[in-house]
């Protein structure tokens, strides 16, 4: 149990940030699956929209320090390979 006022506040802050981070990571996974599914189809416009949404979400996650910028860069690069392999 936290003994000081600052430790109590830190515990609350950690819980709040963990919930935010988990929501962001879940959204990234969902968008990644949707993007892969869209590229598996034949509709180029849907594939483009899904890719834009995924890359944008990655950039927002980096901005709020949920994932590291190099990790996001790796995800974008791997996704680009997947798209252009078709």
pTM of the model: 0.81
Looking at residue 81, what is its pLDDT? 85
Q: For the chain, list the domains and their CATH numbers.
A: 5-84 (1.20.58.110)
Q: CA–CA separation, 57 vs 63, rounded Å?
A: 10
| C-alpha distance from residue 64 to each of 19, 45, 67, 83 (Å) | 13, 29, 8, 27
Ramachandran category for residue 17: left, alpha or beta (phi over 0 → left; psi -120 to 50 → alpha): alpha
pLDDT tens track for 41-75: 888 888 889 999 999 999 999 999 999 999 999 99
* pLDDT level of residue 82 (50, 70, 90 thresholds): confident
């Amino acid at each position: 149990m936290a003994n000081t006022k600052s430790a109590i506040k830190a515990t609350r802050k950690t819980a709040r940030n963990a919930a935010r981070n988990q929501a962001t990571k879940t959204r990234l996974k969902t968008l990644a699956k949707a993007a892969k599914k869209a590229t598996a189809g034949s509709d180029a416009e849907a594939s483009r929209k899904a890719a834009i949404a995924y890359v944008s979400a990655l950039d927002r996650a980096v901005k709020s320090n949920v994932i590291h910028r190099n990790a996001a860069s790796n995800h974008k690069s791997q996704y680009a390979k997947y798209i252009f392999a078709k």
